[in-house]
Amino acid sequence: MNPTLNPEQMTALQSRLAKNPGVVLEQLATSLDCPLQTVIECLPNTLWQKIAGSQFVPLLDLMHAWHSSVTVISNSNDAILEFTGPLPYGEVSHGFYNWQGSTGLHGHLRFSQCSAIYWLERPFMNKPTACLIFCNLSGNPMFKIFVGRDEAGELRQDQLDALRQFSAQQSEA
């Protein structure tokens, strides 16, 4: 994988994403043979904010405290796995952030491998979306968490407000 694009490729990518920020970012990264992080950072800068990977645990703890549904997505070339529901309680042990509980989602996340978390608000499939993309040390996605939707299909305002506040605090730090 090419960790960087040359200046001409970067300019072309920035132009493409300015015209259509709602593309599937992972597919674009694959087609360019570059990390997802590179593609995200070519989106118009009004659509994303970078949060330090060290905020992994505080951010997941914040979202668990909502007790409301989000969508967790993990995708590879062969599968896109989705879970919608409240995030389970997690705790750090043996080098992992361990999701526990009875929500149906559980697992072990190597939080020390998270180099950056991206907060994105952009259109996707003709709808506004908001998500966090957790990137590993190679700049590729570990998983994504999307803001939940209410009964009318609108983004949950309480989750949007909390994540906007969290990301704003990170940019001030």
Domain, as residue range, for 82: 47-172
The pTM for the full model equals: 0.94
Sign of CA dihedral 113, 100, 75, 149: negative
* 112-157 per-position pLDDT tens digit: 999 999 999 999 888 999 999 999 999 999 999 999 999 999 999 9
Residue 115 lies in a domain: yes
Residue 95 lies in a domain: yes
Residue 158 lies in a domain: yes
Asked if 50 and 116 touch (Cβ cutoff 8 Å), the reply is yes
| Rounded CA separation 166/173 (Å) | 11
Q: Backbone dihedral region of 157: left (phi > 0), alpha (psi from -120 to 50 degrees) or beta?
A: alpha
For the chain, the straight-line distance linking the first and the last C-alpha, in angstroms and rounded, comes to 32
- What total number of domains does the chain contain? 1
- Going from the C-alpha of 11 to that of each of 18, 24, 25, 149, the distances in angstroms are 11, 19, 16, 34
Helix (H, G, I), strand (E, B) or coil at 156: coil
| Residue 162: CATH number of its domain | 3.40.1570.10
Residue with the two structure tokens 């062969």: 78
Residue 99 lies in a domain: yes
* 77-117 per-position pLDDT tens digit: 788 999 999 999 999 999 999 999 777 899 999 999 999 99
Residue 40 lies in a domain: no
